[in-house]
Amino acid sequence: MILEGLVTTRNADGSSHLAPMGPRVGADFARFTLRPFPTSGTYRNLLAHPEGVLHVTDDALLIARAALGAADPPPPVRAAAKVAGFVLADCVRHYEFVVKSIDDSGERVAIEAEVVHAERHRDFWGFNRAKHAVVEAAILATRLHLVPHAEVAAEFHKFRVIVGKTGGPDEHAAMDFLDARLAEAPR
């Protein structure tokens, strides 16, 4: 199964790097596979410092901002317990991991990670169609160079309807942010 989450890694200067990531996970969460693009900061950071933190979150606005490289200011973090990394202050769960292997022979890199520490921080907010719509819109917004603008705009319209019916202030803010990015994108 692919689980949408956020990964923190260490930049060359020691600061935190935040990126959305959909690793393939098993039910026991003992290991998972990250599949970043070879041009990504996450990949570069894990090559240099082969450890990080995977976060399960229900913060759709943060996922949207991070997907487009706009998590500025960065969210609050604290030091991880078992790896030299960063834990988001507001997440549902986190999984500290070490890289066991990297296969960069394909279009996407396959990074096998082993969990060395996990913590539960708070209850999951619950299923909400607006949060899911924002996550789908954020993923689609990262594909603007691959998907025709008109197709993305049509999907965003559908997502906006869902957010309008079921979303709260954060989901509305996330769709506003994503709509603005779409308006700026080349056609």
71 pLDDT more than 90: no
Which residues, 6+ apart, have CB-to-CB distance to 73 below 8 Å? Answer: none
What is the phi/psi pair of residue 98, to 5°?
-120, 145
- Domain 129-184, CATH: 1.20.58.290
**13-47 residue pLDDT tens:** 999 999 999 999 999 999 999 999 999 999 999 99
Percent of the residues in the chain that have a pLDDT greater than 70, as a whole number:
100
**124-138 residue pLDDT tens:** 988 899 999 999 999
Which residues, 6+ apart, have CB-to-CB distance to 46 below 8 Å? Answer: 9, 34, 36, 52, 99, 102, 111
Topology agreement, domain 5-120 and domain 129-184: no
Asked if 33 and 80 touch (Cβ cutoff 8 Å), the reply is no
- Domain 5-120, CATH: 2.30.110.10
CA triple 117-122-128, angle to 5 deg = 115
Q: Domain-by-domain residue ranges, the chain? A: 5-120, 129-184
The DSSP annotation for 92-113 comes to SEEEEEEEEEEE-SSSS-EEEE
pTM check: above 0.85: yes
In DSSP terms, 120 is beta-bridged to 93
Supply the pLDDT for residue 110. Answer: 98
Supply the pLDDT for residue 77. Answer: 97
